Structure 1
């Protein structure tokens, strides 16, 4: 019996090649894109679940409350890990996770900057990274033992065996040999922790002094804990206050300094702007992508349904004859569902091929390493997808056609106007609604991102290059910065003598959210004043193209203006200075200093954030003397920023590299563009915009095929009417308009609902920007006219073809 159902289904599908083809293309596109998105969403939701005890692993979050504001961070004091392990028996193990950079020898004549992670010996027992060689209980016990990934092993040792070999790293004043004691499989692509080399945190002695290592108010990197039971989280957090009273004594004030535990499963998927060192994804992105996948599938299913109903007149006689011959309702339903199932199954095969072809493009767009792995869960999802689509697309036509009355069908009383026309029109209108909703949303996103790209940030990005100078490690933070500035000044001096270089400056921070450091001090009124700070040197203000509103620039000579500060307009307004020049900070703890200039407000953060108070200083020592809060959000090594003359970038780059080799002959030369650094801030929303644009294109394509098929079916059912009208003198234009007005009403209805709804839905997305720009009404008007023209073109082409038929052929049977 089942064999006969399949045979009949195949015969019917091959007989109606146009409609089968349209259904296959639509469903294949919908399934292919949906599979890709669903696998991506599953990949993101499963971040860090490869750790065997992921439910028992937590990251510490530090909370410092000042003036009622919770200054939360995942950076923690060095002393946190051993203190928590000693104070809470519920904690099985702890590890620090502190990033560092060191120069590493590739060979005897070349060094390069190498990323490192300093961790506690228990790191490999807490996390389930796959150690290919070495003993996880001992690999990180030795101060000069390191664990590297396969990728790093290939870079330093090629195809040779790495265990027991050494990498020379500059951790202090000179290079030390670090022996490879462990080889890790390359990290899973769904890991929040990203590193290349692990080393014992005893190496912190090279960069952090003993006083800072024992301080509760200096923070460096993250701290992870592994508890004996997931439920221990609450009891540990409840005991933090008592622990803080014990370790801080009289310095502790209740509720002003404490820690909480964040499950590792909650690190990756978050809207929290504070992310620590972990890569994160906003949950709204996953919701939007899942919604897009569902909408595209829904449009494809609507195509299937509307065409099945549209073909009811041609299938009605088949149903009538089969019912007369004794076919039961259930048998007919099963027959139509079999056709829907076979169509969906074929579409799944084509969809899987399409998804595999699109994976590289998708990974490039979202900068992921997604691969389509078909495990038991994935196969279950695919089977469920086929069954759901079969039910969505085939159930209504199957039950509707199987319920037709044979006597009415065989007497020829059934027509295209049999009462289900409103449903077909509604489904087609819904298709257009979804398509134009996606297009309008794309328009809003493109317009906003264009406005962001063209917005004047208050500084000049053109021909501006950032060069990282080698980091100087020191146990004194101030000395480390000072030594870094001395190295950077040597390179800057080499550049300013070249005609290809317009100017050059030195800076700690460049651009981006939280790139400038957070700082604060108590005013004379005992109110906390928080702002952003950047340490600069050379011709920084000039090179960046910042505009001085009042006063003067820093003296570019090293050592000069060590007591001078420059602020922005917002700083002066926030601290209520009407004439800032010559003012002193309202706190006597600061060493002698003076405000020498005020720059016009500029955006050092991305345009997601409002302009904040900003202070520039040349001397860290003068600045540090007066503050009571400092949060370091970016690397502390200085960078040289250089502005080129003219437009010949290759000549400019050659000068930068040649002078680098003279000053730092053993160091690798690397640079980045300021405009690229700016663009990096908006990559997530740029990607989302491209994905919505792609979805809108697919939705329009599927809707166009559906409109084409529906117009063809509608016209095919009224060929005799067209013949009669032509015989009576009707023009081709009037007949074309007769069909066009029916579909134009559907189009206009979809557009009129989609456009205002898109404005409403996109409010939350556009609200995240400090600078907002909505498209003009003209853009939406052109979009609506485009939709009308789109419908006119498709329907008119079908109608024109029908009006060219000879009426004699259409009426000869009457």
Structure 2
């Protein structure tokens, strides 16, 4: 019996090659894209699952309230980990995690910048990164011992065993020898914490002074705790207030400085832009992608259903005969579901091949390391999709066709225009609605991102290169910055003397999300005033093409203008100053300084944020002496920004590298482009726009195939009517319009519903930008007209063919 079901299903599918092909192509496209998306969603939701007892591990979040404003961050004081471990018996393990970089010798002559994490010895006992050599309890006990990944080991030692071998790295003023005490398997792609090297946090003494280590108001890196039980979280958080009173004594104001615990299972999927040192993904992205996958599948399933309904007349006779021969309702239902199942299985095989082909492009688009590994979860997803599609695509035709009365069918009382026209039209209209919703959303996103790209940021980004200067580690922050600037100035002057260079400057912060530091000071009125801060040197203003609205630029000569500062227009407005030249910052503690110029507002951050008050200064002592809040959002080592003359970048790059070798012969040369840094801020939304565009193209393709098939079925069922109309004198145009009219109404309904809903759904997306640009109504009108022309072309092509048939052939049959 089962064999017969499959034989009959295969015969029916083979007999109707056009409909089967359209269903197969639509489902293949839908499944190929959906498998990639659903696997991606599952991959993102699996982050940090490989850590054993991960429900007991928490990341500490710091909350500070100043002048009624709450500021939260995952950067914590270095005291946090040992203090929590000592004060709370529920804390079984604790670790600090502070990032850093140092110049390291790859061989006797070559150095490169090596990233590392300084962590507490408990780190590898809290997290289950796979240790291939060494023991978790001992590998991080030695100050000068390091644990490296397989990839890092290959970089330093090739294929030889790295255990016990040394790596020379510059820590502080000298190069230190570090011995490899442990080897880790390369980190899983679904780990929020990524690193190349681990070292004991005693090494923080090279870059952090003792005062900062003992301070509750200087923050560095993240803190992680492992509790004896997940339920202990509430008890620990409830005891934080008492702990802070004990630590700060009379300085503590109730509720002003607290800590909470975030489960590590929640740290990857977050809408919080300040995600600390871990890689994060917005949950809304996963919902959008999953929604896109479902809509594409839905369109493909609608094709299957509408074509099955359209073929009802032909299949109805088959049902009537089989019922007369004794087939019951359940057998017929199973027969139709078998056909849907076979089509789905065939589409699944092709869809998996398509997913494999699209995987590299998908990984490049989202910068992920997704693999199509068919484990238990992935197989469950695939089986779920097969059941879902079989049910969505085959259930209605199966139950409807199987319920037909044999006597009506065999008497010929059933027509293709039987009372299911409304459902069929409704399904086609829904297809068009989804297609126009996606394409209109794409239009909105493309228009917004073009507006972002074309927006005048207030500075020049063309042919501007950023060169990272080697860091000068020091326990004194001011000493480190000043020494770094002195080092960068040598390179800047070497470049400035070259005719190929238009100008060169020095900066701590470059353009980027939160790249400028956060500073704050109390005003004479005892109010907190917060601003953004950057330390600059050389021809910084000239190189970026910033405009001086009033006053003058900072003197590029080293040592000059050490007490001078520049502010932007927003800073002056925030303090109600009409002419701040010659004024001093209204802090009760900042020493001798003077505002010598006002810079026209420029976007120091991405266009997700409004322009904020900015201070540009040459000397850190000038500002540090008077602020009571400092949050460092980027590395403290200076960068040289260089604007070239001309457009020959290869020659310009050769110049930059040759001058670098003269000034820093032992240091690795690295550079980046300012315009790339600008565009990098919008990568996530650019990716989403590309994904929505791809989905819109697939949706339109599937809908076009469905429209083509439905027009063909509708015309095939009315060939006699066409013949009679031609005999009675109807023109080909009037007959074609008769069919076009029906489908145009469906198209217009899809457009009228899809376009307004796209505006509604995209409202929340576009609201995240400080600069917003909606497409004009002309663009939406063109989109609607294009949709109508799209329908006219497809339906007209089908109806024109029908009108060219000889009426004698269509009317001679009974």
TM (norm. structure 2) is: 0.99
- Structure 1 match to 2:233: 233
In structure 2, what is the Cα distance between the partners aligned to 1:554 and 1:380? Answer: 64
* Residues 1:253 and 2:228 are matched in the alignment: no
- Structure 2 match to 1:290: 290
- Structure 1 match to 2:476: 476
Query: How far apart are 1:177 and its partner, in Å?
Result: 1.2
- Structure 1 match to 2:755: 755
In structure 1, what is the Cα distance between the partners aligned to 2:80 and 2:589? Answer: 29
Which is worse superposed, 796-805 or 33-42?
796-805
* Residues 1:575 and 2:586 are matched in the alignment: no
8 Å contact kept, 1:435–1:700:
yes
In structure 2, what is the Cα distance between the partners aligned to 1:364 and 1:385? Answer: 25
- Structure 2 match to 1:33: 33
3-state SS in 2 of match to 1:101? strand
3-state SS in 1 of match to 2:622? helix
Which is worse superposed, 452-461 or 373-382?
373-382
Query: How far apart are 1:587 and its partner, in Å?
Result: 2.2
Query: How far apart are 1:71 and its partner, in Å?
Result: 1.4
Query: How far apart are 1:588 and its partner, in Å?
Result: 3.1
8 Å contact kept, 1:94–1:225:
yes
Query: How far apart are 1:11 and its partner, in Å?
Result: 0.8
In structure 2, what is the Cα distance between the partners aligned to 1:16 and 1:439? Answer: 32
In structure 1, what is the Cα distance between the partners aligned to 2:650 and 2:352? Answer: 45
Deviations 1:387-433 (A, max 9, x none): 11111111111111111111111111111111001110000000000
> Structure 1 regions of 5+ residues with no counterpart?
none
Where do 4+ consecutive residues of structure 1 move more than 2 Å?
none
- Structure 1 match to 2:448: 448
1:403-422 matched pairs, under 5 angstroms: 403-422=403-422
In structure 1, what is the Cα distance between the partners aligned to 2:554 and 2:414? Answer: 88
* Residues 1:721 and 2:721 are matched in the alignment: yes
8 Å contact kept, 1:520–1:629:
yes
In structure 1, what is the Cα distance between the partners aligned to 2:377 and 2:241? Answer: 44
In structure 2, what is the Cα distance between the partners aligned to 1:163 and 1:652? Answer: 42
- Structure 2 match to 1:590: 590
- Structure 1 match to 2:359: 359
- Structure 2 match to 1:12: 12
1:686-705 matched pairs, under 5 angstroms: 686-705=686-705
8 Å contact kept, 2:164–2:179:
yes
In structure 2, what is the Cα distance between the partners aligned to 1:701 and 1:73? Answer: 46
8 Å contact kept, 2:522–2:588:
no
8 Å contact kept, 1:125–1:136:
yes
In structure 2, what is the Cα distance between the partners aligned to 1:582 and 1:144? Answer: 51
- Structure 1 match to 2:311: 311
3-state SS in 1 of match to 2:502? strand
* Residues 1:391 and 2:400 are matched in the alignment: no
Deviations 1:311-342 (A, max 9, x none): 00011111111111111111111111111111
Query: How far apart are 1:649 and its partner, in Å?
Result: 1.5
- Structure 2 match to 1:176: 176
8 Å contact kept, 1:519–1:530:
yes
Deviations 1:706-761 (A, max 9, x none): 00100110111111111122222222211111111111110011001101110111
In structure 1, what is the Cα distance between the partners aligned to 2:19 and 2:551? Answer: 75
8 Å contact kept, 2:241–2:258:
yes
1:136-151 matched pairs, under 5 angstroms: 136-151=136-151
8 Å contact kept, 1:319–1:402:
yes
Which is worse superposed, 287-296 or 368-377?
368-377
- Structure 2 match to 1:81: 81
3-state SS in 2 of match to 1:89? coil
- Structure 2 match to 1:543: 543
8 Å contact kept, 1:516–1:633:
yes
8 Å contact kept, 1:437–1:757:
yes
8 Å contact kept, 1:534–1:616:
yes
8 Å contact kept, 1:62–1:73:
yes
1:794-813 matched pairs, under 5 angstroms: 794-813=794-813
- Structure 2 match to 1:501: 501
Query: How far apart are 1:93 and its partner, in Å?
Result: 0.6
In structure 2, what is the Cα distance between the partners aligned to 1:450 and 1:788? Answer: 27
- Structure 1 match to 2:118: 118
- Structure 1 match to 2:709: 709
Query: How far apart are 1:78 and its partner, in Å?
Result: 1.0
- Structure 2 match to 1:331: 331
TM (norm. structure 1) is: 0.99
1:430-441 matched pairs, under 5 angstroms: 430-441=430-441
Q: What is the CA RMSD across the aligned residues, in angstroms?
A: 0.8
8 Å contact kept, 1:751–1:784:
yes
- Structure 2 match to 1:187: 187
- Structure 1 match to 2:524: 524
In structure 1, what is the Cα distance between the partners aligned to 2:21 and 2:763? Answer: 39
* Residues 1:682 and 2:682 are matched in the alignment: yes
3-state SS in 1 of match to 2:106? strand
- Structure 1 match to 2:784: 784
Query: How far apart are 1:152 and its partner, in Å?
Result: 0.5
In structure 2, what is the Cα distance between the partners aligned to 1:722 and 1:595? Answer: 85
3-state SS in 1 of match to 2:520? strand
In structure 2, what is the Cα distance between the partners aligned to 1:734 and 1:524? Answer: 84
Deviations 1:282-322 (A, max 9, x none): 11101100100010010001000000000000111111111
- Structure 1 match to 2:341: 341
In structure 1, what is the Cα distance between the partners aligned to 2:373 and 2:229? Answer: 32
- Structure 2 match to 1:167: 167
Which is worse superposed, 76-85 or 763-772?
76-85
In structure 2, what is the Cα distance between the partners aligned to 1:743 and 1:387? Answer: 31
Query: How far apart are 1:273 and its partner, in Å?
Result: 1.5
3-state SS in 2 of match to 1:107? coil
1:580-729 matched pairs, under 5 angstroms: 580-729=580-729
In structure 2, what is the Cα distance between the partners aligned to 1:605 and 1:64? Answer: 23
3-state SS in 1 of match to 2:660? helix
Matched pairs, number: 814
8 Å contact kept, 1:533–1:615:
yes
- Structure 1 match to 2:217: 217
Query: How far apart are 1:30 and its partner, in Å?
Result: 0.7
- Structure 1 match to 2:730: 730
8 Å contact kept, 1:500–1:651:
no
- Structure 2 match to 1:300: 300
Which is worse superposed, 399-408 or 545-554?
399-408
In structure 1, what is the Cα distance between the partners aligned to 2:380 and 2:256? Answer: 50
Which is worse superposed, 383-392 or 498-507?
383-392
In structure 1, what is the Cα distance between the partners aligned to 2:727 and 2:236? Answer: 89
In structure 2, what is the Cα distance between the partners aligned to 1:380 and 1:796? Answer: 44
- Structure 2 match to 1:22: 22
Query: How far apart are 1:362 and its partner, in Å?
Result: 0.6
Deviations 1:114-152 (A, max 9, x none): 101000111110000011111111011111110001110
3-state SS in 2 of match to 1:284? helix
